[in-house]
Amino acid sequence: MIKKISGLLPKEQNWLVKAVVSIIVSDGQVEENQIKFLKMVFKGYLENEPHETLTEIARLLKSKTIPNLEKLQVNDLERLIFILNILSASVFTNGKKLKSEVNQYFEAGKKLGLEVGSLSYRLSLEAERERIKRKLSDVRKDIGDFLKIT
């Protein structure tokens, strides 16, 4: 199971960065938590990329330009699942599921050759994961309030 972007091929890494940027900028806003997500997921990648690549990513984020994504063939199931996990998580980085981000997620998924049904299912799993995360946070707060612990 791949846990870091370094488990992907260089071509897959480059494509994934652009795909995540396309989802993030699709609503015309770039929020701080989205930048944190990019830095967290792509930490090793960003540290090892040439200056030109980093400049291009920064330019896309600043101008809120959706990069053009080419089709990408991923021949390994583990790498494909990792890419899909990152794409679906990027839809929720700002705590909301915006229509523009969902549309861009589907566009990226289609470039991977995935069908809408598979993409919808994965996105629904991510939505449920986010819902559970919020509920757990509420329960933690309620217990802390009850026990007067922070």
Contact 86, 109 (CB under 8 A): no
d(CA 5, CA 86): 9
Mean pLDDT (the chain, rounded)? 89
pTM summary value: 0.84
Residues 6+ apart with CB under 8 A from 59: 65
**pLDDT of 84:** 95
The alpha-helical segments, DSSP class H, found in the chain are 10-25, 32-41, 43-48, 51-63, 77-91, 99-111, 116-147
pLDDT tens-digit series, residues 18-40: 999 999 999 999 999 999 998 88
The phi and psi torsions of 100 (rounded to 5 degrees) equal -65, -40
- Nearest 5°: CA angle at 139, between 135 and 145? 145
In this prediction, residue 19 carries a pLDDT of: 96
Q: Mark the ranges of the chain whose per-residue pLDDT is less than 50.
A: none
Instruction: Indicate if the alpha-carbon torsion angle 37, 90, 68, 45 is positive or negative.
Output: positive
- What is residue 49's predicted lDDT score, i.e. its pLDDT? 79
Per-residue pLDDT tens for 128-142? 888 888 888 888 888
